[in-house]
Amino acid sequence: MFPLPSANSLLRYAGLALIGIGLLGVLIGAVRRNAFTYLITDSDVVVKRQLLRRSVRRIPFSSISDVQVSQSIVGRLARYGDVVPVTKSGYGLVRGTEPGEKVVAEMVDVPNPDKVADLIMSRLRASKVA
């Protein structure tokens, strides 16, 4: 028979497992963050995703009616969150907002999301004046 591990050994293994899980979470977050590129031009918002496949979504300011910002508690403390340009048709609303709606161009893990949302809204207002 095998001897039972001591309590100290179990605590050591549990600590190493938690550190490993934490490092894996950081790695996944870094890969996810670097997979997206966001551009805010004078005429539109561009969301590029480049990980296993490449996709580009352009949302002209003429079709944006609102901008939603969502942040977790950790996101608020670390000053990052998700920014979602909402189109006039309702597309772009955050998951679960209304049945049948889907996310079209969610900007994930954006630093200072409130500033980004304000920038989009100011460009939106400027495009309506022009």
pLDDT in tens, 16-32: 999 999 999 888 877 87
CA distance 80 to 33: 11
Query: 81-122 pLDDT, tens per residue?
Result: 999 888 776 655 444 445 444 455 778 888 999 999 999 999
Question: Which of these, 57, 83, 80, lies nearest to 68 by C-alpha position?
Answer: 83
Counting the structural domains of the chain, the total is: 2
* pTM for the whole structure: 0.66
CATH code assigned at 82: 2.30.29
CA distance 84 to 19: 33
Do both 12 and 71 map to the same domain?
A: no
Do both 17 and 48 map to the same domain?
A: no
Between the alpha carbon of residue 52 and those of residues 36, 39, 89, 107, the distances in Å are 12, 20, 29, 18
Alpha helices in the chain (DSSP H): 7-34, 73-78, 113-129
Do both 10 and 50 map to the same domain?
A: no
Look up the domain containing 16 and give its range: 1-34
Give me the pLDDT at residue 19, please.
Answer: 93
Do both 9 and 41 map to the same domain?
A: no
